[in-house]
Structure 1
Amino acid sequence: MESFAGVRALVTGGASGIGAAVTSALIARGARVAVLDLRPEGLPEGVAGFTCDVGDPASVDEAVASAARELGGIDVVVNNAGVGAAGSVADNDDDEWLRVLNINVVGIARVSRAALPHLRESGCPAIVNTASVAATHGLPQRALYSASKGAVAALTRAMAADHLAEGIRVNCVNPGTADTPWVSRLLDAAEDPAAERQALEARQPHGRLVSADEVAASILFLADPANGSTSGTSLSVDGGMHSLLLRR
């Protein structure tokens, strides 16, 4: 199971939710991990944590440089940090659009740009971005979030094309609705949290929320040095939502 033995990985947003599951999975598979997070707390033993705001260029440059020094280089970057947004196009002003796009899209570009010199020195370089089923499906009340994740999917393909000749693989995952702290907060704010959760579960063909560990497993698949011919791929982790239309 130690297919990541000796691999040096950087995970943004790695202190909670999907990022925390990725961090734990990488450690279990033998990787050395640095987490970049607004609050790098409660990390597993042996994980280096660095305070980082992916929406701030100076913060990103400093944190990535510190992580590279701590790890002795970078082989894998998991761009998982992001924020949610609810509402139609009528519900968010320009400042909120710029804030979300700055974190969810430009944040990936910032971290990747800062890590590129180290990835170019790696023998197994890979970048995995976290997009969403919202990148490919029209979901109600998710206009801004969907736009940001659609951009992540497109950015992933463009990055894969740009860096293929350098041996740097770039892929992304498209999770369905995942059982994460952000989704829990959305449910808590609903008028009827139990009914809202039931509706979200019913929307996915397998009838439940996606677990953070399931998304982490797919991220590790894409980052695994054994998958050297996988690049420019968007891997759906949504219980079949992307392609199955079932009768219930």
Structure 2
Amino acid sequence: MNFEEKVVLITGATRGIGKAIALLFAKSGAKVIVNARKSDKDEAGCSIVDKIRDLGGEAVFVPGDVSDVKSAESIIEKGIEAFGKIDILVNNAGVVIPGNLESTSEEEFDLTMDINVKGTFFMSKFVLPHMKKQGGGVIVNMGSVAALKGHVDRAAYCASKGAVVALSRAIAADYVKDNIRVNVVCPGTTYTPAIKEKIATAEDPAAMEATFIGRQPMGRLGRVEEIAHAVLFAASDEAAYMTGSIIVVDGGMTM
């Protein structure tokens, strides 16, 4: 998968899966726009850009809140200003707030939907006119196995990721004639910094890790690089006949 001369914008790109996606795109030749909801002085964002440049690639850090309509539009515009176009948008930014229906507050539900769903909606909405003008493009949205099966204590998160899948298919149907493809990658439990922190801060870290691993048919958690490879495939020319599709990378969790 060669992405030379391609420009990719990745939201939530300073840690975990987003960071892995950014670095893998850079290694594959793409120019990378790194986004996170931090200031332009954010060390994590600047660090990713520095790593990409050390690899011989080109990258810029564009901070902004994808859940804010004006901020989302600004992120797209600044990305265009930096490289002249955006060929690929990866909507990776997201939050996971635990809770069942009774324990989840309205504020927590709204925050989850704002970032996970409205963020995907806003970023896609503002990149689409540019993609249409340049003759096509690809959007890859980050779903989750939580969109495909019920998860205990994740009511708002499941609802938001189910919405992302449905929204992605609607966008794919609306813009297929504009040569714009839209696909969803649904990871299972992946060994991200958030999972590491959850294990480390548990009352019994070893038991917590065993619980995570115990529900995986493959007997291990996913690696961020494995999710990143799926994203790159969904965005690649090799997947040119794929749109409105769901790629599940979950170690067999939903089989």
Category of TM-score, reference length = shorter chain: over 0.9
Q: After superposition, what is the alpha-carbon deviation per residue over 1:173-208, rounded to whole angstroms, capped at 9, x for unaligned?
A: 110011112222322342222211111112111111
Unaligned runs of 5+ residues in structure 2 are 39-44
Equivalent position to 2:97, from 85, 106, 128:
85
Aligned partner letter, 1:71:
F
Any residues of structure 2 matched to 1:157-196 within 5 Å, and which? Answer: 157-196=169-208
**Whole-Å separation in 1 of the counterparts to 2:35 and 2:199:** 27
**Whole-Å separation in 2 of the counterparts to 1:123 and 1:198:** 49
Alignment-derived partner of residue 106 in structure 1: 118
**Whole-Å separation in 1 of the counterparts to 2:67 and 2:202:** 28
Q: After superposition, what is the alpha-carbon deviation per residue over 1:85-143, rounded to whole angstroms, capped at 9, x for unaligned?
A: 10111111111111110000010000111111111133451000001011111111111
Structure 2 length as normaliser, TM-score? 0.91
Aligned length: 242
- Root mean square deviation, CA, Å: 1.2
Alignment-derived partner of residue 66 in structure 2: 54
Q: Secondary structure at the match of 2:118?
A: helix
Report if aligned partners of 2:136, 2:178 keep a CA contact under 8 Å in 1: no
Equivalent position to 2:248, from 200, 225, 236:
236
Q: Secondary structure at the match of 1:163?
A: helix
Report if aligned partners of 2:12, 2:18 keep a CA contact under 8 Å in 1: yes
Report if aligned partners of 1:135, 1:153 keep a CA contact under 8 Å in 2: yes
Aligned partner letter, 1:19:
G
Unaligned runs of 5+ residues in structure 1 are 244-248
Q: Secondary structure at the match of 2:33?
A: strand
**Whole-Å separation in 2 of the counterparts to 1:35 and 1:19:** 9
1:19: Cα distance to partner? 0.7
Aligned partner letter, 2:193:
P
**Whole-Å separation in 1 of the counterparts to 2:83 and 2:222:** 31
Alignment-derived partner of residue 25 in structure 1: 24
